[in-house]
Amino acid sequence: MAETAAASKNVKFIITRQDDPQSAPYTEEFNLPYRPGMNVISALMEIQRNPVNAKGEATVPVCWESNCLEEVCGACSMVINGKPRQACAALIDNLEQPIRVEPMSTFPVVRDLIIDRTRMFNALKKVKAWIPIDGTYDLGPGPRMAEKKRQWAYELSKCMTCGVCLEACPNVNAKTDFIGPAAISQVRLFNAHPTGEMNADERLEALMTDGGIEGCGNSQNCVRACPKGIPLTTSIAEINKQTTKHMFKRWLGM
């Protein structure tokens, strides 16, 4: 559009708000002055600076969470125009108006757009998504990793625990305890590491408990939704292979 009067242009927002974890959600509309290059975070900052809704009433500023502002921390994930994504990377110029902003309600809502992603960090603890090298003496250098392997493993390490894949998954909901794609992909990452591999079975067994890998229903939304382009479904299928192998080995006592 060849809009010349850019200064007077407004951007309309419909934001789903919630005052506390127990209260009912409601929507509030905002009309904000357009500025070139603005994104959803800068719009929320504008509301914070001048908390007046579309009706001209003074209101409480909308709460949200954000840190890095460059799509690497995962804190500002929210549902924007129906799709879960990072607010800092959601440019207003690329969005259809009115812009609908909601919290990712797969997670408990703390307030407004702030959600509690504790379950994801608990999932990483459950699957032991780390490499245990702590001890009382120097263990020396570990085995080396092939460059080729490092390259694809690096892609998996881009996961920022943002929760978009869980929000996109039809099997992560109140009726299941499915751990979600992110933690499964981390098991693949740490099982691929030459030192991490030494504890591979522990991670596989964690995923073979209730709410583990069996919860995947192959809808494959996660791989399409992931903002970092992590091959989540390849990770899930690979861990399917590893857990299946582990199951047979354990039966046979190998």
**Residues near another protein, by CB under 8 A:** 82-83, 168, 170-171, 173, 175-176, 208-221, 224-225, 231, 233-234, 236-245, 247
Rounded CA separation 78/13 (Å): 14
User: What are the backbone angles phi and psi of residue 166, rounded to the nearest 5°?
Assistant: -70, -40
The full length of the chain comes to: 254
Look at residue 111 and give its three-state secondary structure. Answer: strand
Residue 141 beta carbon to another protein: minimum distance, rounded to whole angstroms: 31
Rounded CA separation 80/61 (Å): 18
Residue 233 beta carbon to another protein: minimum distance, rounded to whole angstroms: 7
Rounded CA separation 190/202 (Å): 11
Complex with another protein: residue 95 or 208, whichever CB lies closer:
208
Measured in whole angstroms, the distance separating CA 166 from the mean position of its chain's CA atoms is 7
Residue 79 beta carbon to another protein: minimum distance, rounded to whole angstroms: 9
Q: How, if at all, do strands 109-111 and 114-115 pair?
A: antiparallel
Complex with another protein: residue 142 or 211, whichever CB lies closer:
211
Residue 176 beta carbon to another protein: minimum distance, rounded to whole angstroms: 5
Angle at 112 between CA 108 and CA 117, to 5 degrees: 30
Residue 80 beta carbon to another protein: minimum distance, rounded to whole angstroms: 12
Residue 201 beta carbon to another protein: minimum distance, rounded to whole angstroms: 14
Complex with another protein: residue 47 or 184, whichever CB lies closer:
184
| 117 beta partners | none
In this structure, are residues 193 and 129 in contact, taking their beta carbons and an 8 Å threshold? no
Complex with another protein: residue 59 or 234, whichever CB lies closer:
234
Complex with another protein: residue 137 or 251, whichever CB lies closer:
251
Contacts of 64 (CB under 8 A, 6+ apart): 41, 44, 76, 78, 87, 112, 113, 114
Complex with another protein: residue 83 or 150, whichever CB lies closer:
83
